Amino acid sequence: MTEAYIYDALRTPRGRGKATGSLHATKPVSLVVGLIDELRKRNPSLDQDRIEDVVLGCVSPIGDQGGDIAKTAAIAAGLPDHVGGVQLNRFCASGLEAVNQAGQRVRSGFEDLIVAGGVESMSRVPMASDGGAWAMDPETNFKTSFVPQGIGADLIATLEGFSREDVDAYALESQTRAAKSWADGAFERSIVPVVDRNGLVVLDHDEHVRETTLEGLSGLKPSFAGIGEMGGFDAVALQKYHWVEAINHVHHPGNSSGIVDGAALVLLGTEEAGKQNGLTPRARIVATAVSGADPTIMLTGPTPACEKVLAKAGMTVDDIDLLEINEAFAAVPMKLMKDLGFPHERTNVAGGAIALGHPLGATGAMLVGTMVDELERRDLRRAIVTLCIGGGMGVATIIERV
Amino acid sequence: MSENMFRWEADGDGIVTLTMDDPTASANTMSAKWGEDFAETLKRLEAEKDSITGVVLTSAKKTFFAGGNLDDLVKYTKADAQKVFDQSQEIKGLLRRLETLGKPVVSAINGAALGGGLEIALATHHRIALDAKGSKIGLPEVTLGLLPGGGGVVRVVRLLGLADGLMNVLLQGQQRAPKAALEAGLVHEVVDTPDELISRAKQWVKDNPGAVQPWDEKGYKIPGGTPSTPKFAANLPAFPANLRKQLKNAPMPAPYLIMDAAVEGSQVDIDNAAKIESRYFAELACGQVSTNMTRAFFFDLQAINKGASRPDGYEKHSARKVVVLGAGMMGAGIAYSCAMAGLEVVLKDVALANAEKGKDYSKKILDKAVSRGKSTQEKADEVLARITPTEKPEDAAGADLVIEAVFESPDLKKKVFNEILPHLAPDAVLGSNTSTLPITDLATGVDRPEDFVGLHFFSPVDKMPLLEIIKGEKTSDATLAKAIDIALQIKKTPIVVSDSRGFFTSRVIGTFINEAVAMLGEGAAPSSIEQAGSQAGYPAPPLQLMDELTLTLPQHIREETRKGVEAAGGTWVGHPSDAIVDRMVELGRKGRSSGAGFYEYDESGKRTRLWPGLSEEFGAAQGDLPFEDMQERMLFAEALETVKCFDEGVLHTIADANIGSIMGIGYPAWTGGVAQYIDGYPGGLPGFVERARILAKAYGDRFQPPASLVEKAEKGQSLRGE
């Protein structure tokens, strides 16, 4: 069987996703081009004629990010004309989906060398600006009991009995770990500073990380109580979860993922392609899975996805060293750890999106890079990367150091 | 071919006045004839266009136009979808031709323009309404489970925008007086006299030779934006959610489909928007809920308000002076309703202070109406002056109506009647506002039981439209006829039932609450029970309602009923809810008035949350009960009890059952009432019987369908007998 190897993983730092963020003046296509340049620079023996496709996740593919940004970036970066480009959207797991699809195409033997990843400039193309029937078409919205994710996150906390103190404590730990990762140089191998056209550094660190205290967190106002009440969304969720009397709104900006700008790339290929290009494999894709759960609570998909990917791989959680779950909202990783019986010490070891931010289309690929780095740094073998996704989906991938 | 119902009159200025006057009916409706005549008239307008300055459209009837033909609409089933779609498209095609004639067209709205009437007017360039008394303008289709399928959705959205159009016109079907319609932007002008109406209309035609609809102007944009406008789009996801919150997810498709048609139609041109509207209209018109609601809120209600249950041969009666005995909440409300209808009211209580307090209730309501501009101080003072609070029986001198509303004790009731009797007019109607005590027994306390009748009002009396009239064994037909006349006089909707414990309404609502309470003991989560009630369409969730009614009340009624049944030699069958109610009372949790019940209350009496102790007390856990079963148990319990009321001769008409259940005890409106629910159940009455048997097997024999119902099912009949 052909294996799909990960040869390299790169990412930009994450800039605050607003006009005051450092990356706001940098176009999304430039973020990707910068990473492609760096990929070539770091791997001088890589024959770019051998690259077959660029697969990029992007969740709001309109405006700056519209019109197949993957092929656009490939052309702009000067990749050969025959190198394709395709943009995909699996909401928040788009970056991981790109890696998985590339891995599947490599492992199937159909293709040999693919660049996968994702990009999202949330400061330039705001979340949900691409519309869509699910939220925007009243018939579909009604039929599917649509509610915004934050309501789902608060409902998870309510159902699981996670208190405001619990989720805030989790958030603080994410910040602590992220700060430690930066202090320890844990991201050094992956991070590629964003530079301007003169080569001047625009951003070289994740700027969403901040010093946090429990007291500070406890003072923040819940983000979704207002729309839950005024927007009617609590009522919609409770009509479905009728045994719950009221939703406990515990999530706020301090314990939810940060809105940021960023991009990431992962180079995947066959063993043969690696050898021919003088590349050393760092890890292999063991198994991938997509699954899903109720679209209204929306964020419980990681559990079935992880269970499915473990079953596909013929493994149990005991075979897994590290768990990386996107911190969309604190309740999401907390629920997954509870469901899988997986310890917090080995989950999101480098800090997560609460501290670092979640550039929607890019995050999944960033998390793959983080796990490759951490498995090497800690001399461990296997990790699961997973994300909760709009529509109730979950995607999970097992990688193994080689 | 009969004469065209659009009378054509051209004046010297070349203005054609089209006067709609259906020779076969008292009001103009969208009948087949209207369609044919309208098409013919349009053809002539188009042919003679060059010699025409413009058109004024008006009506020879008291109303402008009455809307769709409900006799047809109520009968449609899924098989009629093509026909309904085609008709809807055809009407819209005609109206589109009218508004694109190329000449100014003005509606001279001389009277009510509801539904189809307003839709026609919306397809003209200018709308002038006469401020006629009782004239109403609006699109009330939603209240019958329908949507305005004659272009109403399309044009209201283009006229007012999505948010305004939905909230203020389409989703609730508000009916407005002409001046309010002007404020809402539905008409352009309001005039005071019929002469002004036509002269203003003609003047507008002369002043606006190039009139086109706003939406046919170049560069037109829907006010407030559409889904492609970011500012509007940001709020759009909350539209269906808020609607759902408001409707509590009850199965009422019309509001949702109106919203769908409005939003989808805003994204395309007017002709495609019309098609979308027609598709949604066909779905609603051919669906069961519109049939249910049209039957109840149009046909059944009409029958009742025409006095369908009134015995023939008695002259129309109107009451002049009423004595209300007891100035508690009910008595005070009854006094208000009577005074509003122009009756002289004597509000009597044991102490003058109590009676005065009862009168204050009216003052409060009237003050509020004045402060909101809904009444004038002068009118309010007039109403208040009609109410005389007193403690003296002799103030009742000459009264021709008594409505007794004292505490539910037979002895007390008999006592207060005897105290007042000597002062009344000799043939005064003797009414008792008891909600449960047998009228026949109460009537034994007076010397002329044939004049005694039950007049069961609902709380709060000033808001609840129903009056349940109870015929005791000795109540005469003459008294019954008077009671119905009095009900209509004080603007209540009367249903007539025969005497039985709890009559119809109190008896039936009890089964709903009992069923809900029983589920607690079966492990249902308390909030699931509340949601099941709300999502079935009940206006108040059952445990909340029980707290309001106080738990000792059903306990008391149950005890009385048990004694009654046993005294008559019957076997008393308890209900699984009994033990739960008893335990709650034992715990001192008797409902809101006791500060604790199924819910917790704060010091001010505000409901805070479900009592967490319910789980521990009754084993309530996360519901294993299928949610659909929970909903249907409530609906079926009431429907089955209603069938028993028919069997026992308590109920006499389907209309009384339907209207009584919706207006009196909150049976869900989408069902069309408790009898229509049976007929409208999937599979009709036989389907209902089959489902009842399944529920009986799972939840107890109380769900076994009565023999009368089984017999009808076997014959393939409906309860209504069609």
- Model confidence over A111-131: pLDDT tens digits? 999 999 999 999 999 999 999
Q: B591-605: per-residue pLDDT in tens?
A: 999 999 999 999 999
Of A131, A146, A235, the CB nearest to B245: A235
Which of these, A390, A145, A129, lies nearest to B233 by C-alpha position?
A129
Of B237, B248, B526, the CB nearest to A141: B237
Alpha-carbon distances of B535 from A294, B43, B544, B678, rounded to whole Å: 20, 50, 14, 18
> Residue B623 pLDDT more than 80?
no
Q: Which residues of B touch A227 (CB under 8 A)?
A: 238
**Whole-number pLDDT of residue B246:** 96
**Whole-number pLDDT of residue B500:** 84
Are A131 and B245 in contact (CB < 8 Å)?
no
Alpha-carbon distances of A175 from A191, A327, A356, B148, B501, rounded to whole Å: 18, 11, 8, 56, 69
**Whole-number pLDDT of residue B125:** 98
Q: Between helices A28-42 and A69-76, what is the axis angle to 10°? A: 50
Question: Cα distance from A137 to chain B (closest Cα, Å)?
Answer: 8
Q: How much is the mean pLDDT over chain B? A: 95
What the block records as the tokens of B192 is: 């005071």
**Whole-number pLDDT of residue B667:** 98
**Whole-number pLDDT of residue B557:** 84
Are A242 and B263 in contact (CB < 8 Å)?
no
Residue B440 near residue B339, CB atoms below 8 Å: no
Neighbours of A163 (CB within 10 A): 11
Angle at A149 between CA A145 and CA A151, to 5 degrees: 75
> Residue A191 pLDDT more than 90?
yes
Over residues A198-225, the mean pLDDT reads 96
**Whole-number pLDDT of residue B36:** 95
Question: Which residue matches tokens 């607690």?
Answer: B520
Active site includes B141?
A: yes
> Residue B154 pLDDT more than 80?
yes
Are B264 and A242 in contact (CB < 8 Å)?
no
How far, in Å, CA of B547 to CA of B700, rounded? 25
Over residues B250-272, the mean pLDDT reads 98
Q: A166-179: per-residue pLDDT in tens?
A: 999 999 999 999 99
Angle at B336 between CA B668 and CA B443, to 5 degrees: 80
- How many percent of chain B have pLDDT more than 90? 90
Are A231 and B622 in contact (CB < 8 Å)?
no
**Whole-number pLDDT of residue B3:** 87
Angle at A388 between CA A219 and CA A136, to 5 degrees: 85
Tell which phi-psi region holds residue B198, choosing left (phi > 0), alpha (psi between -120 and 50) or beta. alpha
Are A148 and B263 in contact (CB < 8 Å)?
no
Are A242 and B248 in contact (CB < 8 Å)?
no
Indicate the range of A42-46, B73-77, B163-167 predicted with least confidence: B73-77
Question: Cα distance from B161 to chain A (closest Cα, Å)?
Answer: 16
Q: Which residues of B touch A137 (CB under 8 A)?
A: 227, 260, 263-264
Q: Which residues of B touch A138 (CB under 8 A)?
A: 236, 239-240, 256, 259-260, 263
HSE-up of B339 (CA within 13 Å, CB side)? 31
Q: B159-177: per-residue pLDDT in tens?
A: 999 999 999 999 999 999 9
Q: B565-593: per-residue pLDDT in tens?
A: 898 898 998 999 999 999 999 999 999 99
Q: Which residues of A88-112 are buried (b: 16+ CB within 10 A; e: fewer)?
A: bbbbbbbbbbbbbbbbbbbbeeebb
How far, in Å, CA of A109 to CA of B62, rounded? 82
Q: B367-423: per-residue pLDDT in tens?
A: 999 999 888 999 999 999 999 999 999 999 999 999 999 998 889 999 999 999 999
Cβ-in-10-Å burial (0-12, 13-18, 19+) of B328 comes to middle
**Whole-number pLDDT of residue B722:** 67
**Whole-number pLDDT of residue A345:** 98
**Whole-number pLDDT of residue B301:** 96
> Residue B39 pLDDT more than 70?
yes
**Whole-number pLDDT of residue B501:** 82
> Residue B21 pLDDT more than 70?
yes
Are A138 and B527 in contact (CB < 8 Å)?
no
Is B236 near chain A, with CB under 8 Å? Answer: yes
Catalytic site positions of A: 92, 358, 388
For B683-718, what is the HEC assignment?
CHHHHHHHHHHHHHHHHCHHHCCCHHHHHHHHCCCC
Is B263 near chain A, with CB under 8 Å? Answer: yes
Search chain B and give the residue with CA nearest A235: B245
Over residues B635-639, the mean pLDDT reads 98
Cβ-in-10-Å burial (0-12, 13-18, 19+) of A198 comes to exposed
Over residues B299-312, the mean pLDDT reads 93
- ipTM, interface predicted TM-score of the complex: 0.94
**Whole-number pLDDT of residue B276:** 98
Residue B403 near residue B489, CB atoms below 8 Å: no
Over residues B188-199, the mean pLDDT reads 97
Q: Among B141, B283, B404, B641, which one carries the catalytic annotation?
A: B141
> Residue B365 pLDDT more than 80?
yes
Question: Cα distance from B295 to chain A (closest Cα, Å)?
Answer: 27
Backbone phi and psi for residue B87, each to the nearest 5 degrees, phi listed first: -60, -45
Search chain A and give the residue with CA nearest B267: A137
Q: Which residues of A touch B259 (CB under 8 A)?
A: 138
What the block records as the tokens of B322 is: 């009423």
Are A232 and B241 in contact (CB < 8 Å)?
yes
**Whole-number pLDDT of residue B408:** 85
Query: How big is chain A by its Cα radius of gyration, in Å?
Result: 20
Which of these, A99, A402, A101, lies nearest to A267 by C-alpha position?
A99
Over residues B296-322, the mean pLDDT reads 94
User: How much helix, strand and coil, in percent to the nearest 5, is found in chain A?
Assistant: 40, 20, 40
pTM: 0.94
Indicate the range of A335-344, B24-33, B276-285, B417-426 predicted with least confidence: B24-33
Over residues A61-89, the mean pLDDT reads 98
Residue B438 near residue B500, CB atoms below 8 Å: yes
Question: Cα distance from B380 to chain A (closest Cα, Å)?
Answer: 37
H-only helix segments in B316-459? 329-340, 352-371, 377-385, 410-420, 439-443
Is B10 near chain A, with CB under 8 Å? Answer: no
pLDDT band at B621 (very low <50, low <70, confident <90, very high): low
> Residue B1 pLDDT more than 70?
no
Search chain A and give the residue with CA nearest B280: A139
Of B230, B527, B609, the CB nearest to A243: B527
Q: A279-338: per-residue pLDDT in tens?
A: 999 999 999 999 999 999 999 999 999 999 999 999 999 999 999 999 999 999 999 999
Over residues B63-89, the mean pLDDT reads 93
Residue B355 near residue B390, CB atoms below 8 Å: yes
Q: Which residues of B touch A127 (CB under 8 A)?
A: none
Are A242 and B623 in contact (CB < 8 Å)?
yes
Mutation target vs A (from B170, B235, B242, B614; most A CBs, 10 A cutoff): B242
Alpha-carbon distances of B3 from B49, B91, B108, rounded to whole Å: 22, 20, 22
Are A242 and B230 in contact (CB < 8 Å)?
no
How far, in Å, CA of B29 to CA of B36, rounded? 12
- How many percent of chain B have pLDDT more than 70? 99
Q: Which residues contact A5 (CB under 8 A, 6 or more apart)?
A: A106, A268, A269, A270, A271, A274, A281, A282, A283, A284, A285, A402
State the pairing for strand pair B113-114/B137-138.
Answer: parallel
